[in-house]
Amino acid sequence: MGTTDGATWAELGKLPGTSRGLWFVTPSAGVAADHHDSQSRTHLNRTENGGKSWTRGHPCSVDAVVGGLARTLGCMVRDIRFVSPTIGFMGGGAPVDMGTYWGVFSRSADGGATWTHSVLPDTKHAVDRIHFWSEKDGLAVLASGQTLWTADGGATWTGSANAPAWRSFYASGEGKILVGVNENGRQIGYSFNGGRTFSSRPANLPALTRDVTFPDSRHGYLVGQHGMVYRYRIVSAEYTSPGMFGAAAPPQ
């Protein structure tokens, strides 16, 4: 489906399988991942005409050493993000044995035309979500709830300290603030150093959280079941409003 105004939508083209990630780098050029003919590999699809037709690429695979032996593993993509028309990232997993996945990270420097894939070391779960706010700085959230941060475009990863409990939804406000909202609404974590450490505060949201977004470092929104919507903003210490609760603010 495509739109030019956000109010009306029209069917454009069809992908060969169920999509697990979609991103347009320009109004005409986009990338989509599908799981069509296998439970262990994702195919990447690319369009140059706004989604009217798609060209299917090679299945995702990553080279790894398993038990001291070199192997090529199939990988499943779960999330796609671009920070510019050329620089993009993907997160997913590679099944090693029954019930065990290694986290897989992918990077593109040509708008999604080609990708380099790598295994996140010492992981036993797939990457569920990735969040990048620059070409170098980002956060990977594993299916286990563990979070990892990078400051070199994914070349190296380090575990975050005191991240919110699984399962949480994350958003970045210009890299100045990272917010993780626990799905059950009982905890919200804040980081002001690129995900290296989080400080969490209790919350008592009235419904399950489903997503969170921060268009900048001073404004954010979280949404959940039953039409729940909360807005984050910076106000004076004297300001009050029904249903309001305190939050952490980024350093000035």
Burial of 19 (0-12, 13-18, 19+ CB in 10 A): middle
Distance CA 156, CA 58 (A): 26
Q: 155 falls in which pLDDT band (50, 70, 90)? A: very high
The token pair that represents 196 in the structure block? 């290296």
Quick one: pLDDT at residue 2?
83
Selection from 75, 152, 86 nearest residue 119 by Cα: 75
Q: For 18-27, 69-78, 177-186, 199-208, which range has the lowest pLDDT when averaged over its residues?
A: 18-27
Residue 246: phi, psi to the nearest 5? Answer: -75, 155
Residue 233 has pLDDT above 90, yes or no: yes
231 forms bridges with which residues in the sheet? Answer: 221
Distance CA 167, CA 184 (A): 8
Selection from 90, 80, 94 nearest residue 39 by Cα: 94
Quick one: pLDDT at residue 39?
59
More confident residue, 16 or 7: 7
Q: How much of the chain, in percent, has pLDDT values that exceed 70?
A: 96
What's the one-letter identity of residue 125? H
pLDDT in tens, 98-135: 777 899 999 999 998 899 999 998 898 999 999 999 99
Q: 37 falls in which pLDDT band (50, 70, 90)? A: low
Distance CA 23, CA 88 (A): 9
Q: 41 falls in which pLDDT band (50, 70, 90)? A: confident
Q: From the CA atom positions of the chain, what is the Rg in Å?
A: 19
Average pLDDT on 24-32 reads 89
pLDDT in tens, 53-112: 988 888 888 888 888 888 888 888 999 999 999 999 999 999 887 777 899 999 999 998
CA–CA distances in Å: residue 159 to residues 146, 148, 208, 242? 7, 4, 26, 37
Q: Where are the domains of the chain?
A: 1-136, 160-252
Distance CA 115, CA 59 (A): 11
Quick one: pLDDT at residue 14?
81
Q: The tokens 């019930």 sit on which residue?
A: 99
